[in-house]
Amino acid sequence: MADSETPVQHELGDRMPDPGEEHAPHRAHPSAKEYIRIGIILGVLTALEVATYYVDVSRGVLIPTLYVLAVLKFVLVVLWFMHLRFDDRRYARFFVMGIAGAATLYLIVLLIFGAFSR
Domain limits of the chain?
Answer: 30-112
Confidence of residue 90 (pLDDT cuts 50, 70, 90): confident
Reference 95, options 68, 116, 75; nearest CA is 75
What sign does the dihedral 7-12-14-18 (CA atoms) show?
A: negative
Q: What pLDDT, in 10s, does the model give residues 42-85?
A: 999 999 999 999 998 888 888 889 989 998 998 888 877 777 77
Average pLDDT over residues 37-42: 92
Average pLDDT over residues 76-97: 80
Dihedral over alpha carbons 53, 54, 56, 58 (to 10 degrees): 10
pLDDT at position 24:
46
What's the CA gap between 37 and 41, in Å, rounded? 6
Cα–Cα distances in angstroms (integers) from residue 9 to residues 4, 20, 22, 24, 83, in the given order:
10, 16, 14, 13, 27
The answer to whether residues 88 and 74 touch, using CB atoms and an 8 Å cutoff, is no
The answer to whether residues 95 and 112 touch, using CB atoms and an 8 Å cutoff, is no
